[in-house]
Chain A
Amino acid sequence: MKPAAFDYARPRSLSEALELLARPNVDARVIAGGQSLVAMMNLRVASPGLLVDIARLPDLGSVTEEDSTVFYGACVTHAMIEDRVGPDPSHGLMPKVAETLAYRAIRNRGTIGGSLALADPAAEWPCVLAALDATAIIEGWKGKKAVACKDFVTGIYETRIAAGEILAAIWVPKLSPEARWGYVKLARKAGEFALSLAVAVRDPARGYARVVLGAVDGPPLILDAASRLCARGRPDAAAARDAIAADLARAADRQFDAFRRSLHATAALRALTQAIQ
């Protein structure tokens, strides 16, 4: 399967990239690692007219830190995170997520920004970044805008990135030394997309706790009752089960079949338990 024909441009700066995206009557699309996009184009389920390659823009490829935040350029690869290139704000959560994401050959080229911007419902980063209370920095002609990752994904393959904008960076607040997390990915084989994904983060020193479900056929789902229970930090399996069930029942817009609902409940409980222990 070969893609339909398209044009290709490799801008030398972010503003040149924005300019290319702004051209009228051109169906332009940003490409970074291409691990999802080229596969879709090979299958002809995506056929952009112009690819704007940002993979090697100098500002987008590094991991830096300042005070209590770590800044990831959008084109930081999953492998860089797996290999702990640069500081890790997440006490090992992000490297652990990276190491079970797809396969090494994909991770060498696929990027955290690309994953977040595509917003595949079963992808890991949208869920994990929402759980870490990260912020997405979007660049456009009008300037930068910051969007909390918990609000970033609005639907299946839909995000707060508007036409002509580029996701440029992701800021992740550093977890305190005593923070704990739980991560559960339920997939039928290594490297596969998850059938259910659950992340629980508990950082009492910052008064922060959040439990998020991914692979929920839509934006990541924040479990409010479970998050409150997580904040309290006392292990109580029955209460946790009830809280999670209530959260899932409240998610009226999601159509879970019995099997997926059951998996989500189990994943959430296990992640929560890991974070509390």
Chain B
Amino acid sequence: MSAGDGSTGRGIGASVLRREDARHLDGRGEFVPDIRLPGIRDIAFLRSPHAHARIRSITAPPGSKGRVFTAADLPRLTPIRVVTQAAGAKSPPWPPLATDKVRYVGEAIAVCVAPTRGEAEDLANSIEVEYEVLEAAVDAPKVWRGSRHLVHESWGDNLYLERTIEGGDIEAAARAAEITVTREYRMNRQSGAPMEGRAVLAYRDHRLDEVVVYASTQTPHTVRVALGEILDIEQRRIRVVAPDVGGGFGPKARLYPEEIILAALALELDHPVRWVEDRTEHLLTCAHTRDHHYKVTAYADRQGKVLGVDTDIIVDAGAYGLWPQGPYQEANMAGRTLPGPYTIPNYRARTYTVATNKTPLGPYRGVGRPGACFAIERTIDEVARAVGRDPAEVRIENMIRSEQMPYASIAGMRYDTGDYPASVRLCAELLDMPAIRARQKQGEADGRLIGIGFASFTEQTAHGAAEFASRGASIIPGFESCTARILPDGSLVLMVGIQSHGQGLETTLSQIACHELGIDPDHISVRHGDTESTAFGFGTFASRSMVMSGGAVARASRMLRDKLCRIGAHLLQCDAAETRCEGGAVHGPRGSVTIGEIAKVAHLRMDGLPPGVDPLLDMTATYEPQISTGVFSYATHGAVVAVDPETGFIELLDFAVAEDCGTMVNPMIVEGQIRGGVAQGIGTALYEEIPYDAQGQPLAVTFADYLMPGAAELPAIKIGHMHTPASATEYGMKGMGEGGAVAPPAAIANAVRDALAAIGGPKGAEVNETPLTPARVLAAIHKAKQKT
């Protein structure tokens, strides 16, 4: 039997238009706050106004019993505990509602229930809390050791984990160096800020004896695992549903106290309860992201060939660890990704994951990679400048060549396939580098300075057991599942454990099934995000869904195809080896029978089945790639900027991505993911920041202060593709969802560096901190001018 293929134009490689669009364009999307149930009561939280304080007393207003709950009123709430295998790691218990202490501004202290959200907020505002305010630990590089202000008193310091990643002999590299470049870099704290905040709706279903939790989450199955453990309820009595989710990007791939509290309240009260996060709550208490400090020293020869890199990495991880993975992977990823796509032979990364009195840090598109990319790509540019050569050339010379694949990096990453230097050349071509250089020579009438900069990176995707085990994780998202079910009329339902929240997986997974089964996507439904209707899966994050879930869909589809062909062969009275499944039918040498007809036999006329073949057309499969250390997409990003040296304002004139993610299932959707990621990377590069003051107060808690790029701030993003299939996945696919967000900060900072290369003399001005605000740019210009 042979497979159907994309020759119908609707399978792998086709830019099939999305089925998700119809409901959203019609205003019929169903996000958690859109769900209507009789008797819903709305929730508001009383949240800590202090970064660090003991709670002396909580006094709810008279008559509020049954409407105001503290930790003492909900004994069902046990602490969230991240379990890690990483040696020496500390993991603080996190009570969903604060008990004796609050450790960050926004930490939830009490939950209030009322007929409307406005009334619930009134109730929250009328609760009196007596605090003993304590000094806050705020400056991560200063407080991780030796501070009197401990976030967790029993620790003795403010260090979640200290870990060194090394290979080769860094001291030897230092001795051999002809050029030494040392820099400090800072990627400031920000938010993931999806357009829809978090939301939870919970109620008791008495017919099914379960508590139902609708949540705007990327990981419904693991949320169920957590709810079962923390509330001590068997998982068969919990249902978690992620309906339409208005963007996730990583912060929604973690468990939150609010999910546990709402479930507990639903059990306590006999009506549905709903919490819809407002934007201030989101900016205050949904996972914060990025917040890395780097010190990097690169040792090189006088051609710019890097002999070794030595780095200290500090991650400001906030007051608690987000379940399941905790804060540990951020520094781990940064340390192991920093060598980049380069053949660096000697390396040391000393990483420190620090506790502070700030919002807990969580994953956000790219996780540790944008910071690491910023650090290494800025450094490569500075090495090039130190030896007087073009950064693009020095970059290419240091890169791993395609003949060297698969390549084990000095930090233990196993790069599988790709041609990294080609991506640099393609990116420069997309931006028409000679034209930019000519323009720079000419100068601008308005006095602005033009610059062009590049940044290259690899993106570890669809990593599974081996990778997560090496991170010390105690929950290993190493596989995905698919149940593929053909119904009595021949239509197909794919039930998957991932959760599509903009990635178009309802469309692309059906393309894979189409490829295997020859059933058109218009006759395929994809069900996801619901623990009720799907086998266990981990959800959508870490650029894994296409490879992992797509692989499971492929396997389950092939299992179905085999059975269809066996039954079809029986109906066609031929041998199964003579059949093929294509165009919605099984074809034999002397005729065809439709999948619908086969399905009828398999369900309604099982007397027509061949001997030894059971009824139903229902297959469940799991999938993990053969290599569980990840398959690596890669790209080079390039930015062209105009910098106003009098104001520090930066305009992005052009931006290009030269990328390779192996086989693309739906090129249109791949490009959409790239552009969306790039826009977020530009946000990190130029706009987004949540600063904290010395008392631990966050200073950007509305969109008036927290700036995100709009359409007017972005150019049209150019994309060039290369195709080097993976060797270890179905169809040679690689994940790619995060890559767009990884390199823009580095590319833009390098472009600014290029624009300001002559400020104050040949050394020029540098900005090594994101976002590159006008104030930071002007300060760098001023500093460079002062040196002369």
Contact = CB atoms under 8 A, between A and B. Distances in A.
B704 A259 contact: no
Interface in B521-537: none
A5 to B, nearest CB: 7
Nearest to A45: B702
B778 interface: yes
Interface string B696-726: 0000001010010110110000000000000
Nearest to B704: A193
A2 B117 contact: yes
Interface of B: 116-118, 121-122, 125, 278-280, 646-649, 686-687, 702, 704, 707, 709-710, 712-713, 773-775, 778-779, 782
B704 to A, nearest CB: 7
A259 B709 contact: no
A1 B707 CA distance: 19
Contacts of B710: 189-191
B118 A2 contact: yes
A35 interface: no
A188 interface: yes
Contacts of A263: 647, 774
Given A2-B117, A43-B280, A259-B778, A188 B712 contact: no
B650 to A, nearest CB: 9
B779 A259 contact: yes
13 contacts: A2-B116, A2-B117, A5-B122, A186-B649, A188-B707, A188-B773, A189-B709, A191-B712, A258-B782, A259-B648, A259-B774, A259-B775, A266-B647
Interface string A231-268: 00000000000000000000000000011001100100
Given A186-B649, A188-B649, A189-B687, A1 B280 contact: yes
Interface string A165-197: 000000000000000000000101111110100
Contacts of A186: 647, 649
A183 to B, nearest CB: 15
Contacts of A195: 774
A4 interface: yes
Contacts of B775: 259
Contacts of A5: 118, 122
Question: Which of B117, B775, B782 has most A Cβ within 10 Å?
Answer: B775
A189 B775 CA distance: 14
A3 interface: yes
B121 A2 contact: yes
Interface in A28-52: 43-44
A197 B422 CA distance: 46
B122 A262 contact: no
Contact of A43 (B687, B702, B713): B702
A266 B122 CA distance: 46
Q: Main SS of chain A's interface residues?
A: loop
Contact of B712 (A1, A2, A3, A189): A189
Interface string A1-39: 111110000000000000000000000000000000000
A186 B778 CA distance: 14
Contacts of A44: 121, 125
A263 B781 CA distance: 14
Interface in A189-243: 189-193, 195
A150 to B, nearest CB: 26
A196 to B, nearest CB: 8
Contact of B646 (A188, A190, A192, A266): A266
A193 B116 CA distance: 33
B682 to A, nearest CB: 11
A188 B774 contact: yes
B3 to A, nearest CB: 50
B644 to A, nearest CB: 9
Q: Closest 7 A-B residue pairs measured CB to CB? A: A2-B118, A190-B712, A1-B278, A259-B775, A266-B646, A189-B713, A2-B117
Contact of B778 (A2, A192, A262): A262
B276 to A, nearest CB: 10
Question: Which of A4, A44, A262 has most B Cβ within 10 Å?
Answer: A262
A106 to B, nearest CB: 12
Given A2-B116, A4-B125, A262-B778, 9 more contacts: A2-B117, A2-B118, A186-B647, A188-B686, A189-B713, A259-B774, A259-B779, A262-B646, A266-B646
Nearest to B708: A189
A5 B647 CA distance: 44
A4 B122 contact: yes
A164 to B, nearest CB: 29
B121 A1 contact: yes
A266 B778 CA distance: 12
Contacts of A190: 710, 712-713
Contacts of B778: 259, 262
A188 B712 CA distance: 11
B332 to A, nearest CB: 34
Contacts of B122: 4-5
Nearest to B278: A1
A191 B647 CA distance: 18
Nearest to A196: B647
Interface string A45-85: 00000000000000000000000000000000000000000
Contacts of A43: 280, 702
Nearest to B120: A2
B377 to A, nearest CB: 24
B40 to A, nearest CB: 15
Contacts of B648: 259
A195 B775 CA distance: 11
Contacts of B773: 188
A258 B713 CA distance: 26
B280 A188 contact: no
A195 B778 CA distance: 14
B401 to A, nearest CB: 41
Contacts of B646: 262, 266
Nearest to A192: B707
A64 B202 CA distance: 57
A124 to B, nearest CB: 16
A260 to B, nearest CB: 9
Contacts of A2: 116-118, 121
A5 B119 CA distance: 9
Contacts of B709: 189
